[in-house]
């Protein structure tokens, strides 16, 4: 897969636009268009349903983005949430010191009278044997020594821009959960193990954002903090280690359940020198993105680090009373942390297919029906026939009460089908002359419409009154083959 193909589809079909495009764009911020917002909402809704509403051991939270600045001191973000960066003294571009050799570099080669070459990442010049020492972009400037750059965005609360009023846009949603640990404990009385989930925006002033929505400066996270008693044992293992593995499996299964190919997923176990300062163990779920295997989400065992830090900094006790052992303990926490935007990009890449149908190219997004931004498209075969248009309009209105349903009459039926395939709409309904009849010929309509399924392109004729029940099956747990066996096939 080529990322440019997806970027182009996203813009063309209203999934994702460059932020503030008419002003030349804002660096690495993206706007979700009419179809993108539906897809994104579907991802968040399914994640919330599966991880919060369907589980007896989970509750939700929606904390504010702006928090007390001490939160970020306690969490370690003020001191540790930094990347080493280097600047080019000539062109002033900025790079992450640890990534400067990961991209091709520009070289003016002395062995060829200063000819300019672009040399693959990490390789020496074929002509003079030199390795990169200067700026990889302009090929001329010296790079400064690495300096630490904090990734948090600063802002001011209230009318005065002074240091005392300074705070940060949150760089992760997790801390909003830790600081509310005692509120949830007192109000909901959960028993360990239990988790608190949150979905929301996070902001990071990334030095090298890129790869479309993979790494941006404003993004959304879906995070769980799952608290366990470290003194408990489950199936002969320490509870934190047991639950860590359970969550790693559950997260991977979740992506596969909604259509991601397991061949495009793998796990990465963090080595000791890679682990964050708070983590006992971290496993990333990686996706085979066009730029190579990259992190889709991480699942960390953060131990009791965060609760202890906030207790120490705030002076408030953040413990749990273990009734059995009659002691106050600080729970350990397992943190599955996923990016909404990264998940959306991976779902799109995984669903994209170019197929040949009767000598023509068909682009189709084979999105899981629960993810598809539009579920049903109602298409009139002839837009000049008022009865056809009226019936199609009524159908759209009825079905839109339960599913995202659109009406489209802006092209011939073949083109309309292709457009819906390209955005992943699982079902199209066609209203034709047979449906409404022909008054000139004194022919009555059969009040049946054609339903076309996206992946197989099979078509069936169904009586209009049966549509809501049929779509409840098709867009619920039913399969196309089983749900439609009782209807006659229509010619494609």
Q: Which residues bind ligand GAP (CB under 6 A)?
A: 172, 174, 204, 206, 215-216, 219, 221, 223, 295-298, 335, 337-339, 341-342
> Is the Cβ–Cβ distance between 353 and 366 less than 8 Å?
yes
Angle at Cα 252 formed by Cα 249 and Cα 258, nearest 5°?
135
Q: How far is CA 472 from CA 113, 171, 288, in A?
A: 72, 40, 34
End-to-end Cα, the chain, rounded Å: 30
Helix 467-474 to helix 386-399 angle, to the nearest 10 degrees?
50
Nearest Cα neighbor of 219 from 237, 238, 206, 233 is 206
Q: Which C-beta is closer to ligand GAP: that of 231 or that of 270? A: 270
Q: Which C-beta is closer to ligand GAP: that of 200 or that of 298? A: 298
Q: Which C-beta is closer to ligand GAP: that of 299 or that of 416? A: 299
The H or E element containing residue 7 is helix 3-12
Residue 61: CB minimum distance to ligand GAP, A? 14
Q: Which C-beta is closer to ligand GAP: that of 43 or that of 483? A: 43
The H or E element containing residue 421 is helix 413-422
Q: Which C-beta is closer to ligand GAP: that of 107 or that of 244? A: 244
C-alpha span between 221 and 215 (Å, rounded): 12
Residue 373: CB minimum distance to ligand GAP, A? 20
Residue 369, SS3? coil
C-alpha span between 459 and 468 (Å, rounded): 17
Residue 206: CB minimum distance to ligand GAP, A? 5
How many CA atoms, within 13 angstroms, populate the side-chain half-sphere of residue 244? 24
Please identify the residue of the shown chain whose CB is closest to the bound ligand GAP.
339
Q: Which C-beta is closer to ligand GAP: that of 33 or that of 210? A: 210
Residue 219: CB minimum distance to ligand GAP, A? 4
Residue 403: CB minimum distance to ligand GAP, A? 29
Both tokens assigned to 412 = 């011939």
Cis peptide before 193 (omega within 30 of 0): yes
Residue 151: CB minimum distance to ligand GAP, A? 9
Residues in CB range of 178: below 8 A, 6 or more apart: 75, 225, 306, 307, 310, 318, 333
Both tokens assigned to 380 = 């009139």
C-alpha span between 224 and 203 (Å, rounded): 18
Q: Which C-beta is closer to ligand GAP: that of 206 or that of 245? A: 206
Q: Which C-beta is closer to ligand GAP: that of 136 or that of 298? A: 298
Residue 281: CB minimum distance to ligand GAP, A? 14
Q: Hey, how many other C-beta atoms are within 10 angstroms of the C-beta on 200?
A: 19
Residue 369: CB minimum distance to ligand GAP, A? 24
Radius of gyration from C-alpha coordinates of the chain: 27
> Is the Cβ–Cβ distance between 340 and 199 less than 8 Å?
yes
For every residue of 446-470, DSSP letters joined together read: --EEEEEETTT--EEEEEGGGHHHH
Residue 217: CB minimum distance to ligand GAP, A? 7
Q: Which C-beta is closer to ligand GAP: that of 231 or that of 268? A: 268
Q: Which C-beta is closer to ligand GAP: that of 30 or that of 105? A: 30
Residue 146: CB minimum distance to ligand GAP, A? 20
Helix 34-48 to helix 340-351 angle, to the nearest 10 degrees?
110
Sign of the alpha-carbon torsion through 272, 277, 282, 284: negative
Q: Which C-beta is closer to ligand GAP: that of 285 or that of 470? A: 285
Residue 365: CB minimum distance to ligand GAP, A? 21
């Amino acid at each position: 897969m080529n990322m440019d193909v997806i970027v182009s589809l996203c813009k063309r079909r209203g999934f994702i636009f460059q932020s503030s495009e008419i002003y030349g764009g804002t660096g690495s911020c993206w706007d979700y268009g009419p179809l993108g917002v539906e897809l994104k909402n579907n991802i968040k809704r399914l994640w919330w349903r599966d991880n919060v509403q369907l589980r007896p051991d989970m509750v939700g939270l929606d904390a504010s983005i702006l928090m007390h600045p001490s939160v970020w001191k306690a969490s370690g973000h003020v001191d540790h949430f930094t990347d080493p960066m280097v600047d080019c003294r000539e062109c002033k571009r900025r790079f992450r010191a640890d990534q400067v050799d990961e991209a091709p570099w520009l070289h003016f080669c002395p062995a060829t009278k200063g000819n300019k070459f672009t040399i693959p990442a990490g390789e020496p010049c074929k002509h003079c044997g030199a390795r990169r020492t200067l700026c990889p972009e302009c090929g001329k400037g010296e790079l400064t020594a690495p300096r630490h750059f904090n990734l948090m965005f600063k802002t001011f609360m209230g009318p005065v821009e002074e240091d005392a009023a300074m705070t940060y846009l949150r760089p992760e949603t997790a801390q909003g959960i830790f600081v509310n640990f005692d509120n949830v404990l007192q109000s909901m009385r959960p028993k360990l193990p239990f988790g608190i989930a949150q979905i929301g925006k996070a902001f990071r002033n990334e030095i090298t954002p890129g790869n479309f929505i993979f790494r941006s400066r404003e993004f959304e996270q879906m995070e769980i903090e799952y608290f366990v008693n470290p003194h408990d044992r489950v199936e002969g293992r320490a509870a934190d280690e047991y639950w860590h593995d359970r969550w790693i499996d559950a997260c991977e299964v979740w992506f596969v359940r909604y259509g991601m190919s397991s061949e495009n997923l793998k796990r990465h176990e963090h080595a000791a020198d890679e682990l964050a300062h708070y983590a006992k163990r971290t496993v990333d779920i990686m996706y085979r993105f066009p730029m190579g295997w990259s992190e889709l989400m991480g699942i960390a065992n953060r131990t009791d680090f965060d609760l202890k830090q906030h207790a120490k900094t705030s002076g408030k006790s953040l413990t749990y009373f273990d009734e059995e052992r009659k002691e106050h303990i600080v729970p350990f926490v397992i943190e599955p942390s996923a990016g909404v935007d990264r998940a959306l990009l991976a779902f799109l890449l995984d669903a994209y297919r170019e197929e040949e149908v009767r000598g023509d190219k068909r682009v189709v997004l084979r999105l899981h029906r629960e993810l598809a931004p539009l579920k049903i498209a109602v298409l009139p075969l002839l837009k000049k026939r008022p009865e056809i248009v009226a019936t199609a309009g009524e159908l759209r209105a009825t079905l839109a009460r339960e599913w995202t349903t659109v009406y489209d009459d802006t092209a011939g039926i073949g083109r309309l089908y292709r457009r819906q395939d390209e955005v992943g709409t699982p079902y199209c309904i066609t209203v034709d002359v047979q449906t409404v009849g022909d008054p000139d010929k004194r022919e009555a309509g059969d009040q049946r419409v054609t339903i076309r399924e996206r992946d197989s392109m099979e078509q069936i004729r169904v009586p209009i009154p049966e549509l809501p029940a049929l779509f409840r099956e098709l867009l619920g747990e039913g399969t196309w083959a089983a749900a439609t066996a009782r209807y006659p096939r229509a010619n494609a």
